Copies of this chain bind each other. A is one copy, B any other.
Amino acid sequence: MKAGSNERMNQQLFLKQVPAGIAGPDDFEVQNNPIPELVAGQVLIESHYIGVDAALRLIVRDSDEFLFRVKPGDLVHGSVAGQIIASKNSEFAEGDYVLVSGGVQNFTISDGAGLERCDINQAPLGAWLGGFGVSGLTAYFAITQVCKPQPGQTVLINGAAGAVGSIAGQICKLAGAKVIGLTGSAEKCAWLTDDLGFDVAINYKDADWYEQLEAAAPDRLDVIFDNVGGVILDRSLKLIAMRGVVLLCGSTSQYSQETMVGPNNYIWLGTMRASMQGFVVFDYADQYAQARARMAAWIKAGLLKTVSYEIAGDVDVFPQAFQALYEGKNLGKMLVKLPAA
C-alpha cells in the first residue's frame, strides 16, 4: 500500500457516551474513515496489536479531574504496536515496528514524535504492549526503584494475574522476597504459583481470603503492590509492616464506580510509619532501554515470563475485550490482535 492511498479505510473506535458501570459495546461507536494523505515528515503505521488498559475506564468518566480525558465523540485512547507501511520521514523506514499512542484504530499517522521502536528479536511485537511494554516497565520501575523488596521480606500483589501484577510478582521473586498474589479465580491462583513461581496465591472471592492472607504473612506485609483499590486495599492495609510501602499502581475496582472510595484503614500507615506512594512509569522514560535490556536477559534465561491474552478481531472487538478485562478473563496483558498481525 502506498502512502496517502485511500484504497483502504481506517476502522476507528469513538466514545459514544460516558459509560455507566463497566463500559460495554453500546458506549462505543465504530466508524470507517478514509486515511488522509501523508505530508512530508509523516509516517503511516498499521496497527497489529492494541493494548486494553483498565485505566481507560478512568479517563472516560464524566469528570475533568484527571489529567487526561476521552470525551464522547473522541477517538478512544489506546496504545498500539504496529508497523510502518509508508514513510515520508527519514528517521523511519517502511517495515519498522513501532509503539504509538495512536488510539483504537487500524492506521495512525505520526510525525515521528513519541514513536518507540520495537526490536522484535528482544520480544515478540505483542509483548511490547504487555510484559515487555508499559505494563512490564511499570512493574520493573515500581519494584526496583520504589518498593525495593529485600530478601526475606513479604510482598502482596493485589491484582496479581494482570499485566502489571504478574510481572511485579516475578521481579519480587528475583529480589528474594516471599510473594503472595491475590486474584479472582482458582485457575489464576494455580497459574501464579505453578507457572510464575509465586509462593502463595489467594482467591479474593473466597469468603476467608483475609484470614488466608493473614496466615500467609505472619511477619506482615513489607510491600503492598496495589492495582485494585477498594475493599482489598483497605483490608490488606491492616497487615502493613513497620515502615512498609504501599505502591499505588491502579485502582481498577473503583474506576467504574459512581463514587470512588478510599481505604478507611489508611490510619494504619500512621501507626506503622508506612507510606503510600503514587507512581507513574512515564517518569522513568529515559531508563526504558536499560530496563528492557535487563528484562530481555531475564526472559532469555527463563527467569521472567511475559504473558498476553489475545482476542483476535478487528477494531470493533475492542469493547468486548475491555469488558472481558473487567470480568477478569485474562492471564497477563489483554490485547486485541488485529488482522494485520
Contact = CB atoms under 8 A, between A and B. Distances in A.
Interface of A: 65-67, 229, 234, 238, 248-251, 254, 259-280, 283
A251 B251 CA distance: 23
A65 B238 contact: yes
Given A271-B67, A278-B274, A283-B273, A261 B259 contact: no
Contacts of A272: 278
Given A276-B276, A279-B273, A264 B262 contact: yes
11 contacts: A248-B266, A251-B270, A262-B262, A262-B264, A268-B278, A270-B279, A270-B280, A271-B280, A273-B278, A273-B280, A275-B275
B265 A262 contact: yes
Contact of A66 (B261, B262, B271): B271
Q: Which of A251, A270, A272 has the most CB of B within 10 A?
A: A270
A59 to B, nearest CB: 11
B250 A234 contact: no
B278 A269 contact: yes
A293 B332 CA distance: 56
Given A238-B65, A264-B260, A275 B278 contact: yes
Contacts of A267: 229, 248, 251, 254, 260, 262
Given A234-B262, A248-B269, A271-B278, 14 more contacts: A66-B271, A229-B267, A248-B270, A249-B270, A260-B264, A260-B267, A261-B264, A262-B267, A263-B266, A266-B276, A270-B280, A273-B279, A274-B278, A276-B277
A271 B264 CA distance: 20
Contacts of A238: 65
Nearest to A273: B278
Chain B CB within 10 A, most for which of A67, A254, A261, A266: A266
- Which of A259, A262, A264, A283 has the most chain B CB atoms inside 10 A of its CB? A262
A65 B271 CA distance: 10
A250 B270 contact: yes
A270 B238 CA distance: 20
A106 B263 CA distance: 41
Contacts of A277: 269, 275-276
A267 B263 CA distance: 10
A262 B280 CA distance: 23
Contacts of A67: 271
Nearest to A55: B270
A270 B281 CA distance: 11
Contacts of A66: 271
A264 B260 CA distance: 6
Contacts of A273: 278-280, 283
Contact of A276 (B229, B269, B279): B269
A27 to B, nearest CB: 22
A276 B264 CA distance: 14
Contacts of A263: 262, 266
Nearest to A240: B278
